[in-house]
């Protein structure tokens, strides 16, 4: 059989690439989504931002479905990557063992996405709480909420960028390498 003709075994080898691609795609989509809250809007010729209570309300609504989707994609990438590596290693040839390493590294990197949760949880929590109650126990004004949320959003964007570059892109690269090589050796 000539190279690059998928067989039934290849479907399991492609799954981690697909889910890792979806994770990276969602990660990249979050830039225009959240940066729009930080850019000034003009109403009645007066610039204002929607980084105050609107951002807090958005995060409150967005967090559960987004975290569920990203967790499902990440765990599927890691699980499928581990299973693909194990399946390739059962062939016990030099070529499939080497290809299996790409899947194993990709699976580890996929789990690395979850390792960043503690770093993003704090800023997200503080944005969700937003303008509910200030440090003194009284309601805070919209300008204070904007200032706090912008600071937390910039922190979140920094960690999000770091996670995307350190974990998501390399995981996708490893799975792509594994898929490309597996089509040649199996």
pTM: 0.84
pLDDT for residue 173 is more than 60:
yes
Task: Specify the DSSP element, H or E, that contains 104.
Answer: helix 94-115
Q: How many residues does this entry show for the chain?
A: 186
Residue 141 has pLDDT above 90, yes or no: no
Task: Tell me what percent of the residues of the chain surpass a pLDDT of 70.
Answer: 81
Residue with tokens 């937003």: 130
Annotated domain spans of the chain: 8-40+47-185
Angle in degrees, CA 125, 131, 132, rounded to 5: 80
Confidence grade of residue 1 (pLDDT, cut at 50, 70, 90): very low
Place of tokens 């409150």: 60
- The rounded mean pLDDT for the chain is 86
Side-chain half-sphere exposure of 48, counting CA atoms within 13 A:
11
pLDDT for 167:
97
**Reported confidence tier of residue 181, pLDDT bands at 50, 70, 90:** confident
- Asked whether the beta carbons of 76 and 15 are under 8 A apart, the reply is yes
H or E element, residue 48 = strand 46-48
């Amino acid at each position: 059989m000539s190279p690059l003709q998928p067989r039934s075994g290849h479907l399991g080898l492609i799954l981690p690439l697909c889910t890792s691609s979806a994770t990276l795609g969602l990660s990249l989509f979050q830039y225009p989504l959240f940066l729009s809250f930080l850019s000034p809007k003009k109403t009645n010729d007066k610039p204002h931002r929607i980084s105050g209570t609107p951002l807090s309300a958005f995060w409150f609504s967005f967090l559960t479905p987004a975290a569920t989707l990203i967790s499902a994609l990440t765990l599927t990438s890691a699980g499928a990557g581990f299973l693909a590596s194990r399946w390739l290693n059962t062939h016990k040839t030099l070529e499939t063992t080497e290809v299996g390493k790409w899947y194993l590294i990709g699976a580890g990197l996929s789990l690395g996405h979850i390792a960043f949760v503690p770093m993003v949880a704090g800023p997200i929590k503080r944005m969700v709480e937003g303008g509910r109650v200030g440090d003194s126990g009284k309601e805070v004004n919209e300008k204070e909420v904007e200032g706090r949320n912008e600071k937390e959003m910039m922190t979140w964007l920094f960690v999000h960028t770091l996670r995307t570059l350190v974990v998501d892109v390399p995981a996708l690269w490893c799975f792509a390498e594994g898929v490309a090589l597996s089509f040649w050796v199996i």
